[in-house]
Every structure is written in C-alpha cells, then in structure tokens.
C-alpha cells in the first residue's frame, strides 16, 4: 500500500539502510510494507521431560508467544490473525531450545491446512527468515483439526535476551 507525500506515492520507507515495516498515525496503521504485521509480547517458559528410552532429563526453553493449553505465560499477539493465510489464527510465534542443544528453532503455527506459500520472508527484530529455508509441516493436531507449522533452525534467539513483556514486531513479506 503506497503512502502519499505531496503528489508522490512512496512505496519503500527506510531509516538509513534499515527498512521500516509499518507506519502508524494516531494508533491507525497508514502504511505497511508486508502481507502481515504482528506485535508480539514475549513471555518465556520451561518444560522438563524424561523421554524414554533414555530416561535422561531434557529441559526445553520457550521464548515468544503461544496460546492454548501450552500457552507461554504473559505472552500475547496483538492481532493474532494471519492475513496472508485468509485471517486464520496464529497458535504461536516462538523460539525453542533445550538443555541438550547449542542451537534452536524459530517457528510459527497457524490454524488450518495452509499451503507452503503466501509469503517469502518473516522478520523478527530485523532478522530475516526466508521461506526458501523453512521446514514445513501440515498435520492433524491431537484435537483433530489441521495446523500448519513453519520452522527454521537457528544458532540464537531473534528475541535476544529481552525480558518478559518486551514487544517485538513480526513482519511477513
């Protein structure tokens, strides 16, 4: 969506070389670079399990947003609907790592049987996640409805060491 300045339509806004993804005026979005913009309030959580057959304790660490039965405490997603997939709900946008790993993954899940298309890049805190590199899964959940999961292997969290309650913009283009 272009923004008009004088008689010119502006389609690309940057501060220096850093792209701007959204312009708000009076609480209303007047320009958006991408297909979808979410403001995610991060929370964090830890789950401990002892999976067979090894019976060795694994601690899994979550940072980001997740709703539902395994909701991440104090996390939120302002809009929560995925515009590039017809307005279905985001179930999560999060970073996961474990006590047995030096790396992790960034992922998001949306409701329904969504195709592996609709966007080319997801940005979190300026870090680009290319769809060309995504690990895509589409399956029936335990509650028997379809979900689609998109994940990337990463060496560190795009949320950094931010405290719970910190808000991040997540963009899809």
Q: Mean per-residue pLDDT for 86-114?
A: 93
What pLDDT is attached to residue 75? 95
* For residue 1, pLDDT beyond 60: no
What pLDDT is attached to residue 92? 95
Is-contact 115 80, C-beta < 8 A?
A: no
Based on the number of CB atoms within 10 Å of its own CB, is 96 exposed (0-12), middle (13-18) or buried (19 or more)?
buried
* For residue 72, pLDDT beyond 90: yes
Is-contact 169 122, C-beta < 8 A?
A: no
Q: Give the whole-number percent of the chain exceeding pLDDT 90.
A: 47
Both tokens of 4, joined, read: 């008009």
DSSP E strand stretches across the chain: 3-5, 8-10, 14-15, 18-19, 22-25, 28-32, 36-41, 43-49, 58-66, 76-77, 81-82, 88-98, 104-111, 121-124, 127-130, 135-140, 146-154, 167-172
What pLDDT is attached to residue 140? 86
Query: Hey, CA dihedral for 71, 88, 152, 65, is it positive or negative?
Result: negative
Angle at 14 between CA 65 and CA 131, to 5 degrees: 45
pTM, two decimal places: 0.80
Q: Mean per-residue pLDDT for 63-89?
A: 92
What pLDDT is attached to residue 2? 64
Note the residue count of the chain: 173
126 vs 142: CA distance, rounded Å: 34
170 vs 122: CA distance, rounded Å: 7
Q: Mean per-residue pLDDT for 140-146?
A: 77
74 vs 19, which has greater pLDDT? 74
What pLDDT is attached to residue 52? 77
Domain ranges of the chain: 1-33, 39-172
67 vs 143, which has greater pLDDT? 67
Q: Mean per-residue pLDDT for 67-73?
A: 91
Is-contact 173 124, C-beta < 8 A?
A: no
């Amino acid at each position: 969506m272009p923004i008009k300045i004088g008689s010119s339509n502006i389609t690309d806004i940057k501060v220096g070389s850093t792209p701007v993804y959204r312009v708000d005026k009076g609480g209303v979005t007047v320009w958006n670079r991408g297909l979808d913009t979410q403001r995610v309030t991060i929370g964090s959580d830890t789950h401990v399990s002892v999976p067979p057959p090894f019976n060795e304790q694994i601690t899994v660490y979550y940072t980001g947003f997740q709703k539902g039965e395994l909701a991440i405490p104090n996390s939120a997603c302002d809009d929560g609907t995925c515009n590039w997939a017809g307005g279905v709900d985001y179930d999560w946008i999060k970073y996961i790592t474990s006590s047995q790993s030096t790396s992790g993954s960034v992922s998001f899940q949306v409701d329904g049987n969504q195709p592996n298309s609709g966007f080319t890049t997801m940005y979190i805190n300026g870090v680009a996640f290319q769809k060309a590199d995504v690990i895509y899964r589409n399956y029936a959940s335990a509650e028997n409805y379809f979900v689609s999961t998109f994940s990337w292997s990463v060496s560190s969290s795009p949320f950094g060491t931010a405290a719970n309650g910190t808000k991040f913009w997540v963009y899809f283009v």
